[in-house]
Structures are given as C-alpha cells and as structure tokens.
A and B are shown apart, each in its own frame.
Chain A
Amino acid sequence: MPGTGTVNRTLLALWSLFWLLMIVVSVADHRDSGNRWWEPLLWEGSSCLVATGWLLLQRRAGARWQGLLAEPRRWFLRHIAWTPLLAVSFVISVYALRHGVYALAGVTYEHPGWAYVFCYESLKITLFTSLWLSIIFGLESFARWQQERERLLTLQRHLAESQLGQLRAQLQPHFLFNALNTISSLMQVDVARADALLAQLADLLRASLQAGARQTTSLREELELSRRYAQIMQARFAERVTVSWDVAPDVGDAEVPTMLLQPLLENAFKHGVELSREPVAIRIAARRGDEQLHMMVRNSGSRLAPNGRSGIGLSNCRARIALLYGDRARLDVAEEGDGVVATLVQPWRSAPS
C-alpha cells in the first residue's frame, strides 16, 4: 500500500537532485569570476542545510494537515502562513552560517545591503516554497488517492462477497424443501393453514431475494420476517419448540442490516431444535439503551461447538456489521444456562421511512 514512506522516498530523491543541480550551476557560474572555489559551495550548501531543516519540519508537523488534502486552498494557506517566519529565520541562519565560515577562513563575506538581501531572499524563498509545496501536495494527494482507491476496492469486494454469502445463507435449500414438504402434508388436512404457510414462505423468499439490493431495513420489517420464518419452523416442529418475543415498543424504527436477525434465529433452530430431543425454548429480544440497539436470540438445549469455531452464518453476520458500523457494533455468541445466546449490539440509528 502506498503511504508516507513512498512519499518521503520520492521527495528525498527529488530534493537531492534539485540541490545537486543548484550547486553544480552555482559552481559553474562562478568559476571564472575570481571567487575562491569553496564560496559557491558554501552559498548553496548553507541554503540547502537550512531549507532541509524546514523540509523536515514540514514532514513532521505537516502530517496533521493531511486531512486537508481534499481542500487544497486550506492546505496551502496553512503552509503559506509560515512563510514570513520561514523567510526571516532563513535569512538569519543562512547569513550567520556564511559569515561564520568566512570568518574562520579569515576573509570578509561581501554582499549587498541588508534591506536588499532581505527583500531579494524573501522573494526567492516564497517562490521556492510554493514550488516545493506544490510538489509535496501532488505527491501526498497521489498517495492518498491510491490508498483511497485500494480501500474502496476492498470495501466493494467485501460488500460483494457478503451479499453473495447473504443470499447463500438465506436460500438454504434444506429449509426450503422441508417447508415445502410440511405444506404438502398440511394441505391434505388443513387447506387454509397450508395456504397461510405458503404465503409466509413466499414473503420470506421475496425478502431474501431483495436483501442483496438493500443493506439496511427497519427493525420492524426485520422482525416481521423473522416471525414468518419462526411460524414456518413452528409448523414443522410443532410440539418441540416454543418461541417468545420480547421486543421493546420503541425499537421498531431502528435501522438494522437486512436479514441479520434471520440467520441468528436459523442457528437457534438448527442447533437447538433440530438437534435436540427435548422441547426447546427460543427467545428473541430487542431494546434500546445508551444510544445503542441491543438484540438477542437465545435458545435452550444446545452447547457451542467445542472447537470454538463459528459457522458461515455467524462469520457472515460479523463481516456485515463490521462493514456497516466498524468496531461500534459487535456480535457475541456464548453459552448461558442450558443454552446458547447470541447478542448483537450496534449504534442506534433511525431507519429512513
């Protein structure tokens, strides 16, 4: 991934080339003008030394303005604001250096009057600073753009994978065929009930087909779907399961990821009811607290897998909430009493109506 490291390396290379060029040009220009050989070296070298100090300062302190890369005007203004200080400190340190070295060599450093020097050097520094700020801005923007693009691509890939997984998880053929068989049995004896189940199954299918297109929905809709799913499962397992709902009255409008509750409920049936010979109790609860939405699906009669691995359903749920809410949402699955409880906590947001 391109980052500060790449920017710094490129900048160092350009900076070295630039000063090499300045020194070579200066030495060539003054070769025949009667100066001592080291004088052009000292002039450019001192400038280079002080300017490098300022560049290092920019590299360290400028990091805090990286967030402004999207707003070039503000980014430049923040930097340009330092130019007066830069100019004054530059002239003072550079000329102090030069006078010092000349004094050591036992000669006088002759230059135009201080007013002229100050104006001339300030102008040069302003131009020079603008040039290098533009280069730095260009390099950093490019690195940022590359990072951004990388992140977007990853995000898109994750979203696509998650959506695929989502569809796979929902259209569980096993669930579908069992439900159809239940209906096929019921319609011989109770046409109205078979008809109702068929409609519920159709609702579920429709919702699972749509889920790929919509990332979030309201908790009210999600619970409605979960109820349909639970009703079909109850028709299949009749006496072997009781399902209770404990939903606070004020949570219906909360935004939740589409078809997130359903896989948790599916797990409760799969590991609780389908694998247990005893009657199983399933409880679904939702409440609001501390600007968060708390949801819970609990089933009796099962243990967690001893190896601690979670199934595709759970890891898919975790991937989805991580994409949508980052680390502000979490999904925990733990053993509790005689069963297993899945707890989902996510930031409270109202679903668009």
Chain B
Amino acid sequence: MIRTLIVDDEAPARDKLRRWLSEPADIEIVGECGNGLAAAEAILRLTPDVVFLDIQMPGLSGLEVAAQLEPATTPQIVFVTAFDEHAVKAFELAAVDYLLKPYDKDRLVKSVDRLRRRDPAAASAAVRAARRRTGTSERLLVPQGESLELLDAASIVWLEADDNYVHVHTAQATFMLRRTLADLLAQLGERFARIHKSAAVNLAEIKALSPLFKGDHELELRSGATLRLSRRYKDALFTRLG
C-alpha cells in the first residue's frame, strides 16, 4: 500500500485529489491537511510514503514544509501548484514531480505510476529543491508535546547530536528532533558552526574562548554555559569569527 497524505488549503482541490486517488487499489489516503503546519505535523505523526503538497498555503508554504524534512527520510513529494510553467522553472522543481492546476486524471495517473517505482533520489531532490528555493531557514519546526512549533533560528543557542536525534537548546527550553546534525546544519546555514563532532553553536551566542590542553578550547556562551571546542573544528571556527 502507498500511504498517501493530501495537503491543500482549498477544500475543492483536496476533494479532487481524494476522489481520484481513492480509485487505485494500492493507494491508501492516511490524512488530509489544510495548512503547512498541520501538514508538517501529519508527516511526522503518520509517516506517509507520499505527500501531495500544495505550494501556496497560509502560515507555512508547501516549499517551507518540504525544506524542513530530512532528505534521507523524506516521503516522496508531489508538489501541486497553480503557478505556471515559468514559475515552476524559477522554483527549480523541474527535477521533482509536480502537478500544475488544473490537471486531468491522466496526468495524475502518470504521477502515481512514478510513485510506485519509489525512487529515493527523487524524494531527496524535492527537499533539496525546496531548500534552494526557501534559502537558509529562519524558522525551525520543533515538536512541542503533541504538536509542532515554529522556532526562530536566531533563538537557538546550540545544537547537540545524540545518536539519531538532535537536541535543540534555546535559552528557555530544549527540543528533541529526529534529524541528523549534518542535515540540520545544512538547513540552518551560516548562523551555526560545528565545534565538536556532536555539537554546533550559534555564532552570535559565543562570548569568550579560552585554551585548554592539546589544542582544545573552552567556549563560554552568553547564557553562561560552557562548551568544548575540539581542535578539529578550531581553525574553521576561528576563520568564521574573523
């Protein structure tokens, strides 16, 4: 079964997808969402195989939702948009699957056929294209109890890797994300720098540096906390700090 999530902020558009996607026996519709944040939550909660994702939605756009996903674990994404071909080119979505509204049944069937082949490369291409388009994320989606919360990237103090999880530390709280540190850093961009194999820090939060043994340093943060800077990442950090 292909477990499928439908995301569009317009009810008639969802109806149309549901009606046609209900016909193939191997597709199971696991949920429908009317906005980006609900979609991101549903993707985490339901772990669908496929998401039909509208681009222009209130709150969080379809591209922003996709940008928050990790390429390695992302469901397959079919962007659905009323933008024209020209805009789609600008969005660099050519490499990924997309439906232009209004589409007919044949076009949807073609998309579904492609989905059945389950090409993981295409899935990660969608996330990368979305990230290229949205640029460095200023906001990060983090789980808060049962739901998701949008965290301002500037408010993150440091990131701590822990097996398959990353702890996101802000001044007030710590959130746990099921992501790799490398991918999170790729999404958040220049604001953060690695200081250790399993830690990265918000450059704006660094207050002082003092040398320890064997080329390691101690980082003092504005919050008062201290972190260790391993010598492997020392030069790169010094360059970034100028």
Interface residue ranges, A against B (CB under 8 Å)? 173-174, 177-178, 180-186, 188-189, 235-240, 274-277
Contacts and interface: CB of A to CB of B under 8 A. Distances in A.
Nearest to A172: B82
A188 B104 CA distance: 12
Given A237-B11, A238-B12, 7 more contacts: A174-B82, A180-B102, A185-B12, A239-B11, A274-B58, A275-B58, A277-B35
Given A180-B101, A182-B12, A188 B19 contact: yes
B52 to A, nearest CB: 13
B12 A235 contact: yes
Contacts of A274: 9, 56, 58
- The secondary structure that dominates the B interface is loop
A186 B12 contact: yes
A177 B11 CA distance: 15
Contact of A178 (B37, B82, B104): B82
B10 A178 contact: yes
Nearest to A185: B16
Contacts, number: 66
Contacts of B56: 174, 274
B84 interface: yes
Contacts of B101: 177-178, 180-181
A188 B16 contact: yes
B12 A236 contact: yes
A181 B9 contact: no
A177 B102 contact: yes
Contacts of A185: 12-13, 15-16, 19
- 4 closest Cβ contacts across the A-B interface? A185-B16, A181-B101, A177-B82, A181-B102
A184 B16 contact: yes
Contacts of B104: 184
28 contacts: A173-B84, A174-B82, A174-B84, A177-B83, A177-B84, A177-B101, A178-B10, A180-B102, A181-B10, A181-B103, A184-B16, A184-B104, A185-B16, A185-B19, A188-B15, A189-B15, A236-B10, A236-B13, A237-B9, A239-B11, A240-B9, A274-B56, A275-B58, A275-B59, A277-B34, A277-B35, A277-B37, A277-B58
A106 B11 CA distance: 110
A181 B16 contact: yes
A322 to B, nearest CB: 31
Q: Which of B11, B19, B59, B83 has the most CB of A within 10 A?
A: B11
B94 interface: no
Interface in B29-68: 34-35, 37, 56, 58-59
A167 to B, nearest CB: 16
Contacts of A277: 34-35, 37, 58-59
A271 to B, nearest CB: 10
A238 B11 contact: yes
A236 B11 CA distance: 7
